[in-house]
Amino acid sequence: MTDDTTRPDRDPSPTPDFSMVMASAVHDMKNSLGMLLHSLDELREELSPSVTQSPRFNTLRYEAERVHSDLVQLLGLYRLDQSNLSAHIEEHYVPDYLEAQLARHVPLLDGRGIDYEIAAEAVSGFFDADLLTGVLNDTLNNAIRYTHKQIRISNREEDGYLVLQVADDGNGYPSSMLSATPDTAAPIDFTSGSTRLGLYFANAVAHLHREGGRSGFVHLYNGGPLGGGVFEIHLP
């Protein structure tokens, strides 16, 4: 049995489905970038601090990470579009999870000399760890790029939702991003750059988390504990 059901309009010509070709190309690029990032982290161990703390080296790491997480999100959205993406909700111990998210960015944090803090409450939460990793990875990479000196990640419970928060002490989100209420049904505005893709993906992932008639959502604002941008994802 083929998966005809997910593609109502099947092209009768023998040319392969273009979106599938794209998806496998994206998959390939993503894996290559993974290798590239790994090599960069290895280089960082071998090179002198004067190189590894130079803005150019950090830009290299940041941009590669950014493209990598864009590709991860694209693949996620492709699966969402093919409607075979569903949230695999499991119980996770939140402090472990947050530590793992931050650990991945340690080379860049150290490279840019940024202070970081995890303020985790020792609770377990219910979420799809893979999907949420795609969201937090992008968020953290952005926070590291736009913060001045510090970032802080934390969790709390609010109105029966698990809230994961990433805060920085940068200049905050531009007002255009704060006012927009990103709708997963609306098309992405590609002119505004990839931050929007990240937000779009974050919203899509939040919506996939449903429990007892409630669904997750994303909240962006400025201020917060460090006075910069704050990203929050609320999960029921």
Closest distance of CB 223 from other proteins, Å: 23
Residues that bind other proteins (CB under 8 A): 1-3, 30-31, 34-35, 37-38, 41-42, 45, 72, 75, 79, 83-86, 88-91, 93, 95-96, 99-100, 102-104, 106-107, 109-110, 113-116, 118, 120, 122, 124, 126, 130, 133-134, 211
- Cα dihedral sign, 184-188-192-196: positive
Q: How far is CA 136 from CA 38, 59, 152, 161, 232, in A?
A: 19, 19, 13, 17, 10
Closest distance of CB 2 from other proteins, Å: 6
Closest distance of CB 14 from other proteins, Å: 20
Of 126 and 217, CB closest to other proteins:
126
Nearest to 139 by CA among 149, 151, 127, 124: 151
Of 98 and 220, CB closest to other proteins:
98
Closest distance of CB 226 from other proteins, Å: 14
Nearest to 120 by CA among 168, 156, 166: 156
**Distance separating alpha carbons of residues 187 and 227, to the nearest angstrom:** 31
Query: Residues with Cβ < 8 Å from 123, sequence gap 6 or more?
Result: 94, 155, 157, 162
Of 107 and 170, CB closest to other proteins:
107
Beta strands in 120-223 (DSSP E): 124-127, 150-158, 161-168, 210-211, 214-215, 217-223
Of 100 and 186, CB closest to other proteins:
100
Closest distance of CB 23 from other proteins, Å: 11
Of 37 and 220, CB closest to other proteins:
37
